[in-house]
Amino acid sequence: MTIENLINKLCRLQQQNISKFDKFKNPLLGLISPSWYFSDSVRLFQGMELSWKNCEKTDFVSRLANNINEIDISIPEGSTFESNFCSWYQPYHYIPRDKWGVHIRYRCLQTLSAEFYRDCPNLTNNPIDSAQASFFYLYIHEFFHYLIENETTSIELECSDPLLYANYLSNIYTKVFNTNECIEEALANSYLFERSNLCRIEKQYLKQKLLNQLPGYNNFINYSDSKFKDGLIQLIAQIMKQRNHESNTKIIHVVERDEFSNIFSLENIPIWIHQIPLHIY
Kind and range of the H or E element at 111? helix 106-119
**What is the nearest approach in angstroms of Zn ion to the Cβ of residue 14?**
24
Residue 89 or 260 with smaller CB distance to Zn ion: 89
Question: How many angstroms separate the CA atoms of 200 and 132, rounded?
Answer: 9
Residue 156 or 185 with smaller CB distance to Zn ion: 185
**What is the nearest approach in angstroms of Zn ion to the Cβ of residue 87?**
8
Q: Which residues make Cβ contacts (< 8 Å) with residue 67, sequence separation at least 6?
A: 110
**What is the nearest approach in angstroms of Zn ion to the Cβ of residue 159?**
26
The residue type of 112 is L
Residue 13 or 269 with smaller CB distance to Zn ion: 269
Residue 14 or 90 with smaller CB distance to Zn ion: 90
Nearest Cα neighbor of 169 from 88, 255, 69 is 88
Positive or negative: CA dihedral 198, 106, 214, 179: negative
- Other C-beta atoms lying within 10 Å of the C-beta of residue 192: 26
Residue 81 or 146 with smaller CB distance to Zn ion: 81
Residue 215 or 243 with smaller CB distance to Zn ion: 215
Nearest Cα neighbor of 250 from 163, 159, 115, 122 is 159
Interacting residue ranges for Zn ion, rule: CB under 5 A: 81-82, 185, 188
- Other C-beta atoms lying within 10 Å of the C-beta of residue 264: 11
**What is the nearest approach in angstroms of Zn ion to the Cβ of residue 63?**
25
Distance of CA 229 to the CA centre of its chain: 18
Positive or negative: CA dihedral 251, 255, 256, 257: positive
Q: Are strands 87-90 and 101-105 parallel, antiparallel or unpaired?
A: antiparallel
**What is the nearest approach in angstroms of Zn ion to the Cβ of residue 48?**
24
Residue 153 or 190 with smaller CB distance to Zn ion: 190
DSSP 122-187: TTTT-HHHHHHHHHHHHHHHHHHHHHHHHHHHHHHHHHT-TTHHHHHIIIIIHHHTTSTT-HHHHH
**What is the nearest approach in angstroms of Zn ion to the Cβ of residue 138?**
10
Residue 151 or 185 with smaller CB distance to Zn ion: 185
**What is the nearest approach in angstroms of Zn ion to the Cβ of residue 75?**
22
**What is the nearest approach in angstroms of Zn ion to the Cβ of residue 60?**
21
